[in-house]
Amino acid sequence: MLTSFLTSTVGFVVVLGVLIFIHELGHFAVAKWSGVGVEKFSLGFGPKIFGVTKGETEYLVSLLPLGGYVKMTGESLEDAKDITDEERERSFTHKPLSKRVAIVSAGPIMNLVLAAILFPVIYMIGIQVPAYLDGPPLVGMVAPDDTAEEAGLKEGDLIVEIRGEPVKNFEQLFTTIAMSPEIPLPLKVNRSGEMLDMTLTPGVSKEHTGTGGFYPPMRPRVGSLVAGKPAEKAGMKPGDLILAIDGKSIKHWRELQNIVEINPEEMAFRLQRGEEYLTVRIKPEHIESDNIYRIGISPAEDTVLKRYGFFKSIDQGVGQGINMTVQLFGVLKGMIVGDYSFKTLGGPITIARVAGQAAEGGVSKLLTLMAFLSLQLGIINLFPIPVLDGGHLFFYGIEAIKGKPISERIMGISQQVGFVMLIMLMVLVTYNDIMRLFGWG
């Protein structure tokens, strides 16, 4: 538990720190280039932890690591009222509109540039992905008394459409289901050549994402063992195929999990090891944090290494960036029209947990998460919402049309509205995080 917490914390700090630094560096560099004075460059908000002053700028790290800021000379009309003529020359407010637009847009653009660099790098390094994600969405197991069984799905069914759209692979299918808890999804299913129409209403996981109640084909073969845990002590080895538990035939990894998770008693595991058949007896270990039982094994999952040369990596990286951008706007549209649930949104706790998992998965997975978040940060910051960079750019657009800046009163009201919207969003994602953390709801 302590190791997992430390990994999540370090992953969270590294990922968020890089994204914030790159974003604020964009504002800072273009402000300096434009002749604007920069008083502060801060990673984080709130009270200062430590800082150093070089020239006119104080560089500091602040307590709350959920953002950052660049404080410029004469940043607002209020700040610019009582400044000297010398300060006026270096005032943000008194710079031409083109330079103000460049300074404000530089932050999100830097995040987009970071994502554009990272995606090709990821494919040059190479990333392991589960092989089934690119495969046809063939149902390997239907969980008893779950949503898939209620919908009428059976083992061997091939899902060809969801919500009227063709399904290319498991990744597309699971993404749609994950974003749609408790929202009915029309399916078209191929069952031995017969086309069937069904409606799947995803359940809700403890992370508040949708669950389909079915799984891809996955044989119960042992991939690795945790040192010192019951399975290793009993003599189980990587590569063992689990055929039965206490005489009950096992065909899917999830069947194995379902039996072990609720069983505190010693059980007989029938194994096939090459041409040899043997039986080992294992008493599961209780995991208090999740209130389930484990024996300390993970599945032998087929993975595909995606690694390419320089030019192919650029091509794949650009394609990945475009796909993620399309998915982002698709998710935002789905939330607006009700196709996707707001319960799937995550905040700092979710980011920390995912960052920890990515850090444990290696450099490629950590960079993938960083690229994904940087892309989102860059795009969302350009939305015309007050408080965000896009809100400022929207006001500059009006200024360009009118020939004069927006009044302080309208600007102030808009900023307050934007701030309230931001607080409401933070409350929502924090609520979702807490519900996931404690498994409530």
Give residue 108's pLDDT.
Answer: 92
Give residue 248's pLDDT.
Answer: 93
Distance, in Å, from the CA atom of 340 to the CA atom of 333, rounded to the nearest integer, reads 9
Contact at 8 Å (CB) between 200 and 184?
yes
Model confidence over 169-189: pLDDT tens digits? Answer: 888 898 889 888 888 999 999
Mean predicted lDDT score pLDDT of the chain: 85
Residue listed under structure tokens 């933070």: 426
Q: Does residue 385 or residue 76 have the better pLDDT?
A: 385
Distance, in Å, from the CA atom of 345 to the CA atom of 341, rounded to the nearest integer, reads 8
The mean-pLDDT minimum among 51-65, 101-115, 246-260 falls in: 51-65
Burial 195-216 (b: 16+ CB within 10 A, else e): eeebebbbbbeebbbbbbbbbb
The band of 7, judged by pLDDT with boundaries at 50, 70 and 90, is: low
* Strand partners of residue 59: 41, 52
Task: Reply yes or no on whether 24 is catalytic.
Answer: yes
**pLDDT greater than 70 at residue 349:** no
Give residue 82's pLDDT.
Answer: 64
Q: What is the three-class DSSP state of 32?
A: helix
Model confidence over 220-254: pLDDT tens digits? Answer: 999 888 888 999 999 999 999 999 999 999 999 99
- Which of 24, 75, 255, 285 is the catalytic position? 24
Distance, in Å, from the CA atom of 30 to the CA atom of 68, rounded to the nearest integer, reads 16
Distance, in Å, from the CA atom of 180 to the CA atom of 204, rounded to the nearest integer, reads 9
Q: Report residue 423 as tokens.
A: 């607080």
Q: What is the pTM of this model?
A: 0.66
Q: How many residues does the chain have?
A: 441
With residue 383 as reference, give the H or E element that holds it.
Answer: none
Contact at 8 Å (CB) between 62 and 43?
yes
**pLDDT greater than 70 at residue 81:** no
Contact at 8 Å (CB) between 220 and 256?
yes
The band of 110, judged by pLDDT with boundaries at 50, 70 and 90, is: very high
Give residue 301's pLDDT.
Answer: 79
The band of 32, judged by pLDDT with boundaries at 50, 70 and 90, is: very high
Give residue 85's pLDDT.
Answer: 66
Q: Which of 327-331, 337-341, 362-366 has the highest mean pLDDT?
A: 362-366
